[in-house]
Every structure is written in structure tokens, then in C-alpha cells.
């Protein structure tokens, strides 16, 4: 389970030759300096791979020390042996560009009951899947337009999950496409407009 804290626990580097090269390669899927997506923390940089010298913690167990790109004050401590279940690599530029072109074909969430809809929003966010984040954004955008046209305000539920999904998606796209996060929305619109004109 990921640990997040403001104060850093003491760290100890693993003694050399405590595991065979094959075992180490199997355990360490990611390397220092790689950027990964880690749940609600979004895109993170792997700062260290080390052990933690704190009471009650296995001093031979390695952890990834992650620094979220968009949460400067946060640090995440994630066990190396369980990391594959809770984090993944950031999309490549090619993958991001292909996904943008796919946006018009991504289906909306068809639930209308707000309680059930919120649960579906949560389920989509938990997948850490960009396509599911796009489903949230498209669904809420469509709902928002309908409400505005009928003279009603956007619901607090939709406003909250729209922002969360945008932060997740645009944060990852910004890294993959080497853009600032605030430039991503215009970039997506430009790519889609260009594709329509072709």
C-alpha cells in the first residue's frame, strides 16, 4: 500500500549483493528518474529506490520514493514488490496522440441517477486509465451543456469530478506531449480540428 507523508522517514540503501541480479530485475520494474502514474497523486518522478529505517517496517524491503509533479509538498513511499498493482508508466507521445484521435469514439457514461453516477465516476478514476478519464470529461461536458441550455446550473458533483478527471488526464498528457498542463486542452482541440479537416 502506498504511504504518503510530509516528513521523510529515515532511509537506508540496500546492501549490495543481497539478491541475485535476476531477482532484482524481476522486482524492480521501474528505475530512478522514470515518470509514472500513481493513483490520485497523478504523474510522479521516481527519486529513489531504497529501504526505510523506521520501527515496524521490514528493513530489507525496498520502496520507490516518488515525488508527484503537481503536488510539490507530497512524497509517496511505495513498496517495490507491490508497485505493479498501483502504478504504471506514463503514456508515450505516440500513445497520447493516438488516444486524442480516438476521443470522438469514446462512449459516454449512460447512468443518469446522481448517486449511481458518482460511484461510476469513482470507478473510472480508480482505473488510472486515460480512456476512462476521457469518458468522465465527455459525459460531464455533455450534461453541463444540456443543463446550461435549459437554464440550470452545473451540479457540484459534476464540477468536482470534471476537475479531477481533467487534472489526471491533462497532467499525464502534458508530460507525454512535453507541454504545460494549461496548454493541453487547446492542443487536443487543435489536433481534433485538424483531423476533421483532413
Per-residue model confidence (pLDDT) at position 112: 86
Q: So what's the pLDDT on residue 116?
A: 96
Cα dihedral: 176, 87, 39, 3 (round 10) = -130
> Mind listing the pLDDT tens digit for each residue in 65-92?
999 999 989 999 999 999 988 899 999 9
pLDDT of 64 > 90? The answer is yes
pLDDT band for position 22 (cuts 50, 70, 90): very low
Contact present, 146 and 158 (Cβ < 8 Å) = no
Print the SS3 string covering the chain.
Answer: CCEEECCCCCEECCCCCCCCHHHHHHHCCCCCCCEEECHHHCEEEEEEEEEECCCCCCCCCEEEEEEECCCCCCEEEEEHHHHHHHCEECCCHHHHHHHHHHHHHCCCCCCCCHHHHHHHHHHHHHCCCHHHHHHHHHHHHHHHHHHHHCCCCCCHHHHHHHHHHHHHHHHHHHHHHCCCHHHHHHHHHHHHHHHHHC
CATH 3.30.1280.10 assigned to domain 93-197? The reply is: no
Q: How far apart are CA 171 and CA 165, in angstroms?
A: 10
Copy the grid coordinates of residue 136: 468522465
Q: Where in the chain is the domain with CATH 1.20.58.1290?
A: 93-197
Q: What is the pLDDT of residue 29?
A: 87
Strands 43-52 and 11-12: antiparallel
Distance CA 24, CA 32 (A): 14
Please give the CATH number for the structural domain made up of 3-89: 2.40.10.170
Predicted local distance difference test score (pLDDT) of residue 15: 44
Q: What is the mean pLDDT of residues 11-37?
A: 65
Answer with the residue of higher pLDDT: 164 or 15: 164
Whether the pLDDT of residue 23 is over 90: the answer is: no
Amino acid at each position: 500500500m502506498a504511504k504518503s507523508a510530509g516528513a521523510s522517514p529515515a532511509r537506508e540503501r540496500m546492501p549490495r549483493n543481497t539478491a541475485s541480479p535476476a531477482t532484482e530485475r524481476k522486482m524492480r520494474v521501474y528505475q530512478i528518474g522514470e515518470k509514472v502514474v500513481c493513483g490520485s497523486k497523478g504523474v510522479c518522478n521516481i527519486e529513489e529506490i531504497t529501504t526505510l529505517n523506521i520501527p515496524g517496517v521490514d528493513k530489507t524491503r525496498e520502496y520507490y520514493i516518488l515525488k508527484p509533479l503537481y503536488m510539490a509538498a507530497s512524497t509517496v513511499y511505495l513498496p517495490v514488490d507491490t508497485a505493479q498493482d498501483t502504478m504504471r508508466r506514463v503514456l508515450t507521445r505516440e500513445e497520447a496522440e493516438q488516444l486524442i484521435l480516438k476521443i470522438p469514439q469514446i462512449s459516454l457514461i449512460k447512468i443518469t441517477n446522481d448517486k449511481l453516477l458518482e460511484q461510476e465516476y469513482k470507478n473510472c478514476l480508480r482505473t488510472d486509465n486515460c480512456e476512462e478519464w476521457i469518458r468522465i470529461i465527455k459525459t460531464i461536458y455533455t450534461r453541463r451543456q444540456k443543463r446550461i441550455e435549459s437554464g440550470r446550473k452545473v451540479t457540484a458533483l459534476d464540477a468536482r469530478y470534471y476537475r479531477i478527471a481533467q487534472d489526471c488526464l491533462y497532467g499525464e498528457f502534458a508530460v507525454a506531449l512535453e507541454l504545460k498542463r494549461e496548454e493541453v486542452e487547446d492542443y487536443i482541440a487543435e489536433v481534433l480540428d485538424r483531423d476533421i479537416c483532413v
